Structure 1
Amino acid sequence: MELELGAVIGFTGQVPQGLILHPDNEHLIYPLGSTIVVRHVVSRAQSFLRGHNQRVSCITVSRSGQILASGQQTHMGFQAEIIIWNFQTKSPLHRMKLHKVMIQSLNFSCDEAYLASLGGQDDNMLIIWEVSTGKGFCSTSIGHEPGYDVKFLNNSNNKLVSVQNQIVKIWEADYVAKKVNFTLVNLGNLKRQILNVVIDPTDAFAYVGTRTGDILEINLERASYKRCGPARKLFSQGVQCLALMNNGDILVGAGDGTIAKLAGQTLQVKCQSEVLGGVTSISLTQDNTHFFLGTSQSNIYLLDSDQLKAELRNTCHYDRINDIAFPNNFSEVFATCSMNDIRVWNSRNRQELLRIQVPNLECYCVGFAADGKSIISGWNDGKLRAFLPQTGKLMYVINDSHRHGVTALIGTIDSARIVSGGMEGEVRIWRIGKQTQTMEASMKEHRGRVWAIQLNKSNDLAVSASSDGSCIVWDLKTHTRLTCLFESTMFKQVLYHPDESQIITTGSDRKITYWDTFDGQAIRMLDGSEEGEVNALAINKEGSHFVSGGEDQVVKMWSYDEGVVLYEGIGHSSTILKVTYSPDQRNLISVGSEGAIFIWNLP
């Protein structure tokens, strides 16, 4: 059985021109790992297109909006798949495989009869497909230079423009003879790495954006270079995306986060503004008064085309997420921590409430104090930091709490102590006073990184899981080891069963093991996954079900007594690092190394 995906927080901003406003002006379409999200702009309701098994590398929508196509990236030596979807039913029409490794660019013809696809640098093929049958119609190699973008002309279904490293080609397809011939555009002495192309509505000329940071205008009838601009100031880090407005002006997104509007006649900048992250996609509304913009830091903005005033509409993590935490018995908000920040989310409307940034540092673990008065976190500079949950203001720092990083932590139920684990294997207990934070005990038995720490209900025992192949149960009153569990694996997660008669662990040997807490003997072993280690475990309040996730990218819900998988949740496109139940037991939340937060509805 499949788990029902309730909502996602995430957007893969690195996909060029990946954020698309549907022609009905009501839906935003964007990739998230291997899933494609269709979100209603006003009501924020989400639906999902799921069919790819690896990261989606490009998306395009036909002019009428009835069909869309997506391509993916796979491993070396494998064929990359293109899927054509019916937008109304959200179901795949055709699945096509001819390209190797990666699909670089896709584009529908004006009459929606043909789809052009360009392979990545390991493939370098241009293929034109017939949309009605899903069959490859004619194909050709584009040469040695890697291609970046391909577009059909606006008024003919057999002419295309492709851009490669330093070459622009105009292609003409002969559908009777099934051949494609090209004309090379004469660029004179110009040497530019060309990244993208837009074609004017009359098909008289095209604009191409370059990595140098300027824009070249090309006459398509003569196949010759006309001029370039802007003359004085180039765009930093290259022109990443272009869009053409109805009045002839050009919108330019640059790699440093600049968004500019250029006059079509002079190619001079009319106005510009800044956004967070390099601009990767621009999508205009039908009336051209506003446009949506996606950045490489996974932010989505809405801008007005006149003044370019940016309004932030959607945010999410753009790097791997290391941990999730809910406050004690409160399901409305949760916190996640990533490579450079901690974010607090409203779990109902999926909006970001607070962002706590510590520049250039990675946050390994995050938690809420039991009284809800602080957010506690462990960082890779070895410091334990606590922040106020409303404002994100720093409350206190425990310096040098662990060498090389704090990798696991948990607060006691009275909020007076924190138990933390470090990169070198120490488990330490900190007493948190009003003004002071002191170390109560340091217990050094583990030889490797401590991945997880759990407390029992009465908070007098703690269990820690380490990558040295041991889990240790500690007595927190005497600060000594009670029992030790050994296995030839790197333990990644440890949990107490709610009745505390058993401990459940998982790790790099792909096994999920039940242990007796009294004598530390293994009672039962389950195969957690066919391939790849299992990183994450969570158990519900009754102890009847638990959830696992790992390198096989599937969230699995198990029956605790029977030891069988009841439900599977498919949607992640890279390793799952953490899963957790919401305190009200209505949702399950999983996070992965692609930076996505998946919220699943529990059956």
Structure 2
Amino acid sequence: MEKELYVDSYIGFKGNISNNLILIRKEKEIDKKYYKEQLKYIEEEEYLENEKKKKLKSVYNLKNIDINHNYYELKREELKYNFFMIYAIGTNIIKENILDNNRTIFKSDESEINKLYVDKNKKYICCCKESKLISNIYIYDFENKKKPIILSLHKFRTVDISISNDGKYLLSSGGHDDKYLILTQIENQKFIYKCLSDYPYTNISFFHKTNNFVIGSGDGYISLIDIEEKKVLRKTKLYGSINSIEMRNKSTLFISIYENIIYVMDLINNNHYVLLLIHNHYVNDLCFPFNYNYIMYTCSYNSVMAWQFYDKKAIYLKNIDKGKFIYYDKKFLNIPTEKRKKLCKLNLMHESKINNSLENKKKKNSLQNYEKINKNLICHSIKITNDGNYIALSIHNNIYLLTSKYMKIITVILNSHYDFCNVLIFYNKYDLITAGNNGDIKFWKFDKGKYLNVNTINYHSSIINQIILYADKYLCSCSEDGLITIYNIQESTLFKKIIDINNTRYKQISLNNQYDILLCCGNNNIFMYYDLIKYDISKNFYYSPFHNVLSLDIDKKGNYFITGSDDYKIRLYEFKSCTCLYIGK
């Protein structure tokens, strides 16, 4: 597996994970004689080190000593290449040599830097400024031997920029207040092409070998534009706002969408399909190791994942709390400690603090002494019994049963799930069904004032968003993995798995008892009506790509349903006609 991951490049992510940090590898001008001498010295050192480890293995029978060639591979590369880390501090850009820590400072005006960019030929370092009037674009010479070129092209904010492979043209796109796409000649700063869209162009990039460029916009259109003819060659509509575009081979595009999915598109015949990946948040960016097509890296708000296409599985996952992440494909590296304070400080997870406080509390208190609930913990779910006598609270990974009148704790389920219980419901009067953060669902029997775990099912691979009882016999569940399951509680068997043929990942559900229909909402805002009598999809409708539904509920008569989304708006729909009646905050 380690050999399969060998590649020749540093990789940095442009999304929230590393918003203003780029890693560059550039060839050195080296003396051949000096290079051969140093290479021979490294090979001898590697040989002696390996022999030493082999001897330790054989003499002391130490099985855990592995021969790792990564260190010496890095030493060889350091002879041929310079490794630079480019980042923004305040209003200036720093180019730092990773090996010797020499820094070059590129100064600019007092406006905030919202994007950094380095062209593929390592000729220019660019930054986009955000201001109250005009967004300036600074183009610096990589070696800092020439004066910077300053372009004032867009209002307020420049969303994305790209430089052609021959270094002649700059392509830039404005934000919501300036939806222009502008192509500029760098040397004489002349306009070549300019167009306006209803939505901002969120991602733009040139082809690998030609000066044709690909653009993706907020309305979901992918366009191929020819510079010489100044016209759109092809245009394709996708569902959702486009975040990132990466090109593989000669004509294959990988496109990450705001709604947490990735499209694979062939530019020659305009065919595209959905590549199903699992993130708990939007996919902000994606990239590939240099010269490798079967491994892809994606980053979302708080995680980085590596995907292997042959096995269709995640081979690496790192969760980060609003931190920064850098990856070198021959070895996972952190920035040294003295730099991490400056650039890559990883905040401690809030949950880890909670775990520590709980562990300390467990040592002091037994179950009988659980008389108070820690006020610093988060309540994930709350339910009241039908008779109104008891309330169940899911707080972190514990579940509390309290009296509704005096809020007295009756019993506590300690460590009900591995991480925390995200949602719970009552059934059979006081029995509980709980769903965890890792896709597990547990059934609890209330007996003699305590809860006993009688069954556990694991059909989901991610956090479960909702569980619903249907006809007091079936349990419907939905998860961030996009799968909907219907489980027969009485027979303890999986009755139905609902997977949409359009690769829509349904993450919210609600039950219409009046019509026996399960309303499902997908990650790209496709709503599905699933008939629980015929066990078939009755209809679909599509609303808008610019928000993600986080909660869903239907009134008792089944005439209306309401959604809450991440754009902080509430929407009221009529159930039969699927029309939106009201939008409010």
TM class by shorter-chain length? 0.3 to 0.5
TM-score by length of 2: 0.44
| Greater per-residue strand proportion | 1
More helix by share: 2
TM-score by length of 1: 0.43
